Structures are given as C-alpha cells and as structure tokens.
C-alpha cells in the first residue's frame, strides 16, 4: 500500500503552498476547523505501568483489521485529553495510511 506524504502545518500556510488552494478552506465557525469523525475511531484500553490507559485507535480506511500498517502514537500537551486536538491529526494520518493511537496519560480523562 503506497502512503501519501503528509505534512502537518497551519491551514493558512498550507493554502499558500498548495497548487490548488481551493481544496483548503477556513470555516466561518472556527469550532468546525478541528472536526474529526468519531465513527472513524475505536475505543481501546491498554496497560501503562500499574494503570489502565484509555485510548482511541484510528485505522486507515479500506484496510483489513488484521493488515499491518505503519503506526504513530500521539499524546497531546500536558493536561489535555485525547478528544481535544488529536482527532483531527489522527484522522489525517490514518487517511495517509497510518494506524494511529491517541491516549490519555495518567489522571486526565477516563484514565485513572
């Protein structure tokens, strides 16, 4: 499976660099800028030392559940939870062919 190359940068920068800037848009409501489809992720739990950590797993679309793909583990800034900014980036990376795991570190969110 060929992976698309992906560069994560601010949308305004990407628009300026694109050969077709019409594929990028800035929504009128900034709340829609970091939208990711929650149906594209699976909720997972895994051991992290003595705690059970809560996470989301994003798989590339159209790839069999048992297929091996390159993987990325993402954790947001301290005190953030996996539902804040990570879904937008995780979904874009999965669209490019990566399996992505996002998780809550110990204490915030549903991780004890």
- What are 5-59's pLDDT values in tens digits? 666 666 667 666 666 655 555 555 555 555 566 667 888 998 888 888 888 899 9
Please report which confidence band the pLDDT of residue 101 belongs to, taking 50, 70 and 90 as the band edges: very high
Residue 94 lies in a domain: yes
Structure tokens at 42: 């699976």
Residue 77 lies in a domain: yes
Q: How many domains does the chain have?
A: 1
Residue 91 lies in a domain: yes
Which residues does 32 contact at the CB level (< 8 Å), separation at least 6? none
Residue 85 lies in a domain: yes
* 42 or 111, greater pLDDT: 42
- Whether residue 54 contacts residue 103, with contact meaning beta carbons closer than 8 Å, is answered with yes
Rounded-to-integer distance, Cα 82 and Cα 75, Å: 7
Residue 16 lies in a domain: no
What's the whole-model pTM score?
0.61
pLDDT attached to residue 6: 60
Rounded-to-integer distance, Cα 75 and Cα 86, Å: 8
Write the pLDDT tens digit of every residue in 50-88.
888 888 899 988 888 889 999 999 887 766 666 667 887
CA–CA distance from 96 to each of 1, 100, 102, 112 (Å)?
A: 10, 11, 16, 32
Residue 25 lies in a domain: no
Instruction: Give the residue numbers spanning the domain of 97.
Output: 57-112
Residue 67 lies in a domain: yes
Rounded-to-integer distance, Cα 55 and Cα 103, Å: 4
Residue 101 lies in a domain: yes
């Amino acid at each position: 499976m060929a992976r698309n190359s992906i560069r994560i940068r601010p949308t305004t920068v990407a628009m300026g660099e694109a050969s077709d800037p019409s594929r990028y848009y800035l929504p009128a409501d900034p709340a829609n800028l970091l939208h990711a489809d929650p149906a594209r992720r699976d909720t997972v739990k895994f051991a992290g030392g003595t705690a059970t950590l809560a996470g989301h797993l994003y798989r590339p679309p159209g790839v069999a559940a048992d297929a091996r793909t390159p993987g990325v583990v993402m954790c947001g800034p301290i005190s953030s939870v996996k539902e804040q900014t990570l879904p937008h980036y995780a979904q874009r990376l999965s669209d490019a062919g990566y399996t992505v795991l996002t998780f809550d570190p110990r204490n915030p969110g549903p991780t004890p």
